[in-house]
Structure 1
Amino acid sequence: MPSRNHLDKIGRKKKKKWTEEAMEHALIEVKSGRCTVRKAAKEFGVPKSSLGDRVSGRVTPGSRSGPAQLIPSSDEKLLVEFSLYMSKHGFPLTKQQLVSFASSIYKRQHRRVAFSKLGQTWWLNFRKRQEKNISIQPADSVVRGRTVHVRKEALDHFFHLLSSVVQAHALGDKPHHIWNCNEMGFQMARKRAVLPKAASLGYKSTPGSKDYISVLACLNAAGTDIPPFIVYSKAYPGGVCYKTQGPSDALYGWSDSGFVTSELFKKWFLRHFLVHAPKERPLLLVFDGHKSPVNLEVVEVARKDGIILVCLPPHCSHILQPLDTGLFPLIKQRFAALLNEMHATDATLFAVSKKDFSGVFRGAYQVAKEDEGIRIVQESFRKCGICPVSHFPFNEAHLMSSHSVDPEAEGPLSTSAQHVVGGLTAPGL
């Protein structure tokens, strides 16, 4: 893998000493008949062979020298716009994420190619080409155990971002327009015991678990829900009873781990959220997306359709995620109570098959449509400071100083024109 210094050394050797403007003037003089190729090249300080290629038509005037770009300039420009949009809305991209998105564009253009050619060389050249538009900043290596430590700076920037978005789009008195989605997991152990467990989007499953089922729920600050998205691990249950017994209008999918992947999140957003969400725009969707279920197509569609995506800061979902703090514990209690009723005489508590899960979950999820559940959801949005927006003070035990974190080598992308911490910015939203 070539290093940055190696590429810089090559670039210094091959750097051209003439400008396109000088080449254009020389070309005009030759085509007008006032100069020969040799004389124009000497007068304007451009290579005679390069000028001759343009005069003969072998090279198109204004074209870049060297091998062709793997991604056209127009698509690269869109990629930069995408990364800046993500940074401004709380999703600062890492190097790996941006290269992954660029690879998706490359594969879309070269459908017969089995793998992308984009690697370290492309990344370093991309950074050099776009150094005026993006900058690389170190990311904070936050201590695990999120229930103990939360960065105050991250909270400050999040509420500054959220307040700016709500004010800019006049959403302060529109709770039906402010949504929160989150993933709740059910880990199935070897004895088929189903244990409710909260999980953020894209989180990895616990090693050694036999099966896993996750549910992506989405509700707004008024307590209205989007039908849940149930994701099974490895494969769907046999037959179709899991659909007929499940919640009304629920969406179903599967992944190897049982968690929501980037493709599944795209399926949910395009085929489910946009279908069931109110038609009035704009809408604000807040969620914990730092495990990156979001992809380029989701963001493109969201921007065109008037959906504003805002990401919660890392390790803060337990105090900022309305569904985590209110509805999910209630659903877990109802789920456990239903299983206890089903197996009151069975020594193996919480035993439920993969096929029957949706039926049991339907009974537990019904609480979200009852007055108690709606009231808890509304109160959770208020307590988390999401609707109405309120930067409430946190206990010092949950905060840690910014001096206790260490920077990583490759940080998230952000705008170079602004001083951005963690990619959270308010201007230009």
Structure 2
Amino acid sequence: MPRNRNQGLKVNWSQNDITRAFKLVEEGTPIREAARFTGIPFSTLQERLKKKNSELPSLGRNPVFSKEQEAEMAEQVKFLGKIFYGCTSIQIRKMAYEYADKNNLMHNFNKNLGMAGKDWLMGFMKRNNLSNRKAEGTSLNRATAFNKDEVGLFFKLLGELMEKYKFLPRNIYNVDETGFSFVQDPGKIVTEKGQKRVGSITSGERGKNVTAVCAVSATGVYIPPMLIFPRQRHSPALENDGPRGAIYRCSKNGWINEELFVAWLKHFANFTKPSENEPILLILDNHSSHISLRTYEFCKTNNIVMLSLPPHGSHRIQPLDVSIYGPFKAAYKQECNLLMKTELGRKITQNDIASLFRKAFQKIATIPKAEAGFASTGIYPLNPDIFTEEDFLAAEVLNSSELVVSIEERREMDNKTPDQIIQLTIEHNISAPGSPSLLNDYNSTDIILSTQVSQSIAIDHSVPTTSGVTAKDLLSVPKKLVNSKNARKQHAKVLTSTPYKEALQEKEERRATREKKKENKGGVKRKSGKKSTMKVPVKMSIKKVKKKVLQESNCETSSDSEIDMIDVRDDDDDTDIEDLQNKCILCDDYGQNNELWYRCVQCGLWAHAECSGCESPEGYVCDLCR
């Protein structure tokens, strides 16, 4: 923060007083009488009349930059922020030093550091309505893909579907997935001022994501979600105190796939009851799990029309992302923190996820939030002009051909010093004064002056500018290399349209061909998991295996009655001991390369770490023994 200086009052008279004194003198009133009447000192008024200066005086030393120069720098900083290439405070301070140095302006900046001071920065931000903000990470794909053409195509298709099917607002739905973990973000806490280390307890260091598939209508009707856990085998304990009507599934990594999405569609159709008279419009992103032949056939059969969003644009045009998932993540974090602090040493497991999700989702799943999400994205009520030119500015600048340079030009630029790069930029601007510039198309960048315009401005300064370096030269938009690889672009499309079926059939044929080639190569090799070191006969019942394990571990439990307490299978169930050692006792699947296995401390058999639902093998007891 800048230092507080007690500068006192500037003057005892106002702007209206000096203006009135000027009028009195013009009407013929003597200067001394006009000064006495308005309360302005005679010498001050006399000097102001000579210089024809009717502005209020300013205290302190003369500013380094004029108002026009500061406005130029501020507009360039604002422009870079709007295209997601915002400047840090260090960059602005360095730019101010170079701007003053290149233009031969008198300044008192730090020459050793080569940057302006913090006091100047705070004053510059205050005078030009700037603030230091925490930036939200935006991927390059999102910045470039959210453009006017893609969004326009989406609204065109949406308008055609609305005109054709006459969808009622209660039949317009949006579906999307979100991930959350049982290792929560602790957030901010109140602690002693000056404390060096501030910590808050969490359930673990790194957790696995659980996926929730949610859907909401334009009238605020929420479909019971589907929760997908990163497990091989489902357990009824995962559904404890979960949302009513929800469904639960498992996948290897906790992500959704084509099979699980079809299962969700069946769940969705059971609740919405689409018919020929009232079909359902389902708006979703173009994730690969949403696009399959089975999905297409199910939707066509059940009167569901699917419309995909523009690629990488869900953060701006998807109702769930805009108004639902942000508050949900905050509420979920609060519920996790509350549960962790109810009991000392309490840990959050996968069995707590459903309950925590229900409590957090019930807090934020309101009708106004759903209606606001559809309205702010322009889906319902239909508003194709919901986004302005400023929203598409980043994509227009980043996709501009003016910013493309070849690899040779980039190497040439890398070999030059910053002064040579600035000089090349100035020469380019002067040599092509009539060339079209993308920045000129943006109405608020009129003040981002070119070299010739900045030289023609009459700057009220003791030392005029000579080199003509502008803020645009010092804080310019980065150039990009020519990309020889043309990636296949996706667009918004009606996924249930008849012509789209051929592409899905070709996709299924290619998949079948790949699977057939794998089978011809000999199939997939099975890798066995960790093996027990017990020496037992080839044929042995589960009960005898457990007894052998207990004897090897020097356990006092040796009676048949105590063995029966941990036996959950039939005593006559004879199984090959090699299969028991190689298979997971929970999912009956064989091990793969680099898999983590846990051994039950009671029966001695092995299970996948993912199937166990535990974070460590210490004291692990399998579901069968439990």
TM-score tier by shorter-chain length is 0.5 to 0.7
AA paired with 2:177?
E
Matches within 5 A, 1:120-139: none
Contact 1:231 1:260 in 2 (8 A): yes
Q: Is the counterpart of residue 162 in structure 1 residue 158 in structure 2?
A: yes
Q: CA deviation at 1:296?
A: 0.5
1:364 is aligned to 360
Which string of whole-angstrom CA distances, capped at 9 and with x for unpartnered residues, describes residues 340-360 of structure 1? 2222377999x5211111011
TM-score by length of 2: 0.38
CA separation of 1:359 and 1:236: change in aligned 2, threshold 3 A: farther
One-letter amino acid of the counterpart of residue 230, structure 1: L
Alpha carbons of structure 1 residues 275 and 398: separation in structure 2 relative to 1, 3 Å: farther
For 1:166 and 1:233, how far apart are their aligned partners in 2? 38
Counterpart residue number, 1:194: 184
Pick the aligned partner of 2:380 from 366, 371, 387.
387
Task: Go from structure 1 to structure 2 and tell me whether the alpha carbon gap of 1:294 and 1:407 turns closer, same or farther (over 3 Å shift).
Answer: farther
The equivalent of 1:274 in structure 2 is 269
The reply on whether 1:175 has 2:174 as its aligned counterpart is no
More displaced 10-residue stretch of structure 1: 377-386 or 403-412: 403-412
The structure, 1 or 2, with the larger RCO (C-alpha pairs under 8 Å, 6+ apart) is 1
Cα shift readout 1:179-216 (whole Å, capped 9, x = no counterpart)? 0001010145xxxx1359xxxxxxxxxxx965220100
Distance 1:398 1:376 in 2: 28
Q: Report the Cα distance in structure 1 between the residues aligned to 2:230 and 2:179, rounded to whole angstroms.
A: 11
Q: Is the 8 A contact 1:149 1:398 kept in 2?
A: no
Is 1:245 aligned to 2:241, yes or no?
yes
> Equivalent residues in 2 for 1:83-232 (5 A)?
144-146=140-142, 150-171=146-167, 174-187=168-181, 193-194=183-184, 210-232=207-229
Q: How many residues align?
A: 257
The runs of at least 4 aligned residues of structure 1 exceeding 6 Å deviation read: 345-349, 425-429
CA displacement 1:269-323 (0-9 Å, x = unmatched): 12x0111114442110001123343210111121122110000111100001100
C-alpha distance in 2, partners of 1:222/1:423? 24
SS at match of 1:155: helix
Aligned to 1:44: none
Show the counterpart of 1:422. 491
CA–CA distance in structure 1, aligned partners of residues 148 and 483 of structure 2: 16
Residues 237, 299 of structure 1: alpha-carbon distance in 2 compared, 3 angstrom cutoff: closer
Structure 1 unmatched ranges of 5 or more = 1-142, 197-207, 413-420
Cα RMSD, aligned residues only:
3.2
CA distance in 2, matches of 1:374, 1:158: 25
TM-score, normalised via structure 1 length: 0.54
Larger fraction in strand: 1
1:237 positional shift: 6.2
Amino acid at match of 1:396: F
After superposition, the Cα gap between the structure-2 partners of 1:423 and 1:353, relative to the gap in structure 1 and judged at 3 Å, is closer
Would you say the 8 A contact 2:169–2:218 is kept in 1? yes
Structure 1 355/162 Cα, relative in aligned 2: closer, same or farther at 3 Å? same
Note if 1:257 corresponds to 2:253.
Answer: yes
Measure how far apart 1:403 and its partner are: 5.0
- Confirm or deny: 8 A CA contact 1:265 1:293 kept in the other structure: yes
Give the Cα–Cα distance (whole angstroms) in 2 for the partners of residues 354 and 348 of structure 1: 16
- Per-residue CA deviations over 1:63-113 (Å, capped at 9, x if unaligned) read xxxxxxxxxxxxxxxxxxxxxxxxxxxxxxxxxxxxxxxxxxxxxxxxxxx
Match of 2:280 among 280, 283, 287: 283
Q: CA deviation at 1:336?
A: 1.4
Partner deviation per Cα, 1:387-412 (whole Å, 9 max, x = no partner): 11211124234433655696856747
Distance in 2 separating the partners of 1:288 and 1:278: 22
Q: 1:328 to 1:343 in 2, by over 3 A?
A: same
Q: Secondary structure at the match of 2:140?
A: coil
1:313-392 maps to which residues of 2 (within 5 A)?
313-344=310-341, 352-369=348-365, 373-391=366-384, 392=386
Identity within the alignment, %: 25
CA gap of 1:424–1:289, structure 2 versus 1, over 3 A, is closer
Q: Is the 8 A contact 1:194 1:352 kept in 2?
A: no
Residues 158-199 of structure 1 show CA distances to partners (whole Å, capped at 9, x for unaligned) of: 11111111111112xx210100001010145xxxx1359xxx
One of 281, 296, 300 as aligned partner of 2:297: 300
Secondary structure of the equivalent of 2:179?
A: strand
Q: Is the 8 A contact 1:187 1:195 kept in 2?
A: no
Q: Is residue 228–residue 250 contact of structure 2 (8 Å, CA) maintained in 1? A: yes
Distance 1:217 1:388, change over 3 A: same
Q: Distance in 1 between matches of 2:239 and 2:342?
A: 28
How many Å separate the matches in 1 of 2:322 and 2:394?
15
Q: Secondary structure at the match of 2:224?
A: strand
Residues 1:184 and 1:283: Cα distance change in structure 2 (over 3 Å): same
